[in-house]
Amino acid sequence: MSGPALHLAVELDGDGAHPAAWRRAAHSPDQLLTPRRVARVAAVAENAGFTLITLDDGVLPPGGSPDPVGRIGAVERAAFVAASTSTIGIAPVVPVTYAEPFHVSSQLASLDHISAGRAGWVVTEEEQPGAARAWGRPPVDGAGARARESRDGVTVARALWDSWEDDAVVRSVATSRYLDRDRLHYVDFTGDTYAVKGPAIVPRPPQGQLVVLGHPERVSADLLDVALVDGRDVAAVASAAAGAGTPRVFAEVEVALDTPDATAAERVADLERHAPWTDRGRLRHVGPAGHLVALLAELGRHVDGVRLRPLVLDEDLPVLSRLVLPALSERRLVARPLPGTSLRSTLGLERPANRFATAAALEDAR
């Protein structure tokens, strides 16, 4: 763990964690796919003091009939949010089950440049057969095969982020050179299903390596900076965190809070009339803000951070902003990101050395 301060992340995809959350949203369904909506919820999260926002995604539309479906790509939303915020970290969900890792690494490196070092990456998998058809690729069947694709994808992305040394861009007018070609490197990756030569087409990210988040049962812990762990109670979360084997650990927590207009239980019951809130094995808090503050304080003894998944963003995010984060801040239990600070620095993670520069220095030393 990084210290006593707890880092709070919040998932901002759609209208909330419940599949029927749109029915209690403060806007019409068509507004969900607009830049104004994305910017508004991101601004609320940043002003509240969240460390990080995540944006879920997948090649197939979320949800299903009779609920509205559709979303803007997570990387595109993240780039828009990066240009309209200044301190909060931004981590889109990008599966690499079928996507080309070379393109994924380029998109994410660009996001880190746009955000001035505030970007992360939540690694997930495409599990539905329809995803393979959408990509025009053979299905990747089985948990083992999907884990292999995630492992290879993250390995390639990390290597490509290092394929440009930090001083590869020289911009020399005198010699008419933009790059020092000796500081660009081939990654020469060969996996079970594809090979990548490299180097990247985007300079090394400001953070050197973006912050990579994921579930350790799907992505090898040595490839992650932050493990996302589940558990239906604090003891289960603590056990998962203890065995994560990553520099930082975030717990996944679903929340439904009492609001001025209805209790959390009443709000959940209202939405359950339309669709069930699927149990995904995560810790779930349904109740007043004060009880959530106590729960987060207890979790802070076992994890470095918590990713909150609000029931309905338009109802729960204001309560989190007014009651939960201020109460935690007053007790000095949360860490608020500072202007000009990278996401790695905020999380207490060192900026990694470039593997190729390090190898060259060792060779020269011999």
pLDDT at position 4 over 80: no
Residue 2 has pLDDT above 50, yes or no: no
Residue 242: count other Cβ atoms within 10 Å of its Cβ: 12
* Res 1: pLDDT: 46
How far apart are alpha carbons 187 and 161 in whole angstroms?
A: 10
Q: Please give the average per-residue pLDDT across 35-61, as a whole number.
A: 93
Contacts of 34 by beta carbon, 8 Å cutoff, 6+ apart: none
On the question of pLDDT at 70 being above 90, the answer is: no
Q: Rounded to an integer, what distance in angstroms lies between the CA atom of residue 2 and that of residue 121? A: 20
Separation of alpha carbons 325 and 234, rounded Å: 20
Cα separation, 105 vs 111, whole angstroms: 10
Residue 22 is predicted with a pLDDT of 92
What pLDDT sits at residue 365?
Answer: 62
- Tell me: the pLDDT tens digits for 174-195? 888 888 999 999 999 999 889 9
The C-alpha atoms of residue 48 and residue 234 are separated, in whole angstroms, by 25
pLDDT of 68: 62
Q: What is the pLDDT of residues 299-339, one digit of tens each?
A: 999 999 999 999 999 999 999 999 999 999 999 999 889 99
Q: pLDDT digit string (tens) for 75-132?
A: 999 999 999 999 999 999 999 999 999 999 999 999 999 999 999 999 999 998 889 9
Please tell me the distance from the alpha carbon of residue 338 to that of residue 50, in angstroms, as a whole number.
11
Binned at pLDDT 50, 70 and 90, residue 362 comes out as low
Residue 298 φ/ψ, nearest 5 degrees: -70, -40
The C-alpha atoms of residue 38 and residue 21 are separated, in whole angstroms, by: 16
Residue with tokens 């040595």: 222
Distance in angstroms (rounded) separating the CA atoms of residues 303 and 213? 14
Give the pLDDT band of residue 173 (cuts 50, 70, 90).
confident
Burial of 4 (0-12, 13-18, 19+ CB in 10 A): exposed
Global pTM reads: 0.94
Tell how far CA 28 is from the center of its chain.
27
Write the CB contacts of 352 (distance below 8 Å, at least 6 apart in sequence).
208, 209
Better-scored residue on pLDDT, 362 or 347: 347
Q: What's the mean per-residue pLDDT of the chain? A: 93
**Count of beta carbons in the 10 Å neighbourhood of residue 66:** 8
132, burial (CB in 10 Å: exposed 0-12, middle 13-18, buried 19+): middle
Give percent of the chain with pLDDT exceeding 90: 81
Task: Tell me which residue of 121, 113, 71 sits closest to 96, measured CA to CA.
Answer: 121
d(CA 209, CA 112): 9
Structure tokens that stand for 260 in this block: 């001025």
How high is the pLDDT of residue 246? 97
pLDDT tens, position by position, 253-307: 999 999 999 999 999 999 999 999 999 999 999 999 999 999 999 999 999 999 9
